[in-house]
Amino acid sequence: MKKSKEIIKSLLASVGITINGNNPYDLQIHNADFYSRILRQGSLGLGESYMDGWWDCERLDQFFDKVLGADIDSRVRYNWNVISEFVWNSILNAGRKSKSFEIGKRHYDIGNDLYRTMLDKRLTYTCGYWGGNPPAGGLDDAQEAKLGLVCRKIGLKRGQKILDIGSGWGSFIGYVAEKYGVSALGITVSKEQKELADTLYKNLSAETRLQDYRDINEKFNHVVSLGMFEHVGYKNYRTFMKVVHNVLKDDGLFLLQTIGVNRSVRGTDPWIEKYIFPNSMLPSIRQISKAIEGLFVMEDWHNFGADYDKTLMAWHKNFEDNWDSIKSNYDERFYRMWRYYLLACAGSFRARKNQLWQIVLSKKGVPGGYILIR
C-alpha cells in the first residue's frame, strides 16, 4: 500500500496536484486503499472510488484538465479493465442493431426531471455554440445559436423535408418546424424522449419515431445527426454512412455533429462504458474519413471543441442548483456519479483530448463550391 501511495503521489505531483493539499484541484483522500485501487483498476477504480466517497475534489474539472493534459492517464491505462473492454469491442459489435436500444434505457430514460433541470429550455443534449456573432450570453443562447448554425450550414429552406438521426427530446426538429416551416422527422431509441417530444411538438410538423437508423427508407432534402454518432461503433460507421447516403436526395447536405478523439480507438473509457454511455465509442478523423470515402464529398469540417467545456460547466451548474428539487428520485451515489461525469468530461475538452466536430457532406460536391458558414 505504501508503494502504491508513493506512485500515485509522484504522478500527481508531476502536474502540480497535491494529495490533501489546499488547491481546489487537489484530492482529499478519505480511504487509504484509494492508491492501490487506482493502480489496480485505473479509470474504473478512480470513478468508482469517487462514487464510493473514498476521495473528494472541489474542482474535478480542473483536476481532469491537469491529469489529461499531461497524459498521466496513459501511465496507468493498461489494466485489465481497459484491455478487456478493447477485446470485447473487437470481437463483438457493441453498436449492432440488437443492442441499439440499450443506451436509451440506461441513459436517456433515467428521468426527464433530471434533464429538464440540467439542459436548456429546448432540452438540447449536445454541445452549444458559444462563439457566434454575437457570442452567446448563456446556455439557452448557445443552444439556439447552434441550432441556427446547423440550419444555415445546410441551407435549409421552407417546405423542405429533413431527418434528424438521434433527435433526443426533439430540440432540432421542433426548432426547424417552428422557424423554417419544414417537415421534420426525428428518430430516437429512447421511449422517454419520444413521449416528451410528442407532447412538446404535437402542434408542429415535427414527428419523433422510436426507430433504429438502419430502418429508415424515405428520402429527405437534408439529414443531420447531432451527438448520436458516438453510439454507432466503429464496426458500423460505414453502414451508418450508407444509410444516410441512401435517404439523402442527390442535391442535399448531411451535417454530422460528433465528439471526436485525436487517435483511433476501438473502445471507450471503462467507467463511462459501465455507468454513463454503454456501447459508446468516440470516432477519429481517420475512422470517419474511411467511412465516407466514395460516398460523400467533405465540404466543411468545423471544430469547436472548447465550447463543450462551457456547455458541460453550464449543465453542471444547473444540475447543482436544482439538485434539491429532484434528489428524492435519486440517491447520493447517483449525485456523485453524475457530478463526476459532467466535470470529468469538461476537463477532457479543456485539455483538448476530446473535440467537437460539425462536418458537412454532399453526395456529389456543391456546384461552384460550398460557402463556409460560422
The CB density around residue 325, as the number of other CB atoms within 10 Å, is: 10
Q: Residue 189 corresponds to which cell in the numbers above?
A: 431509441
CB neighbour list of residue 241: distance below 8 Å, 6 or more residues apart: 291, 292, 295, 296
The residues that bridge with 208 in the sheet, in sequence order, are 186
C-alpha span between 85 and 281 (Å, rounded): 11
345 tagged catalytic: yes
The residues that bridge with 248 in the sheet, in sequence order, are 220
Q: Which residue has the cell 466514395?
A: 294
CA torsion 250→365→262→247, rounded to 10°? Answer: 0
C-alpha span between 320 and 159 (Å, rounded): 41
3-class DSSP assignment, residue 303: strand
Secondary structure percentages of the chain, helix, strand, coil, to 5? 50, 15, 35
CA neighbor of 192 nearest in space, from 101, 276, 120, 127: 101
Sheet strands (E) in the chain: 28-29, 55-56, 161-165, 183-188, 206-210, 220-226, 248-261, 297-303, 354-362
- Among 57, 127, 151, 345, which one carries the catalytic annotation? 345
Q: Which residue has the cell 448531411?
A: 254
C-alpha span between 363 and 193 (Å, rounded): 31
Sheet strands (E) in 189-237: 206-210, 220-226
Whether residue 303 contacts residue 355, with contact meaning beta carbons closer than 8 Å, is answered with yes
Which residues does the annotation mark as catalytic?
345
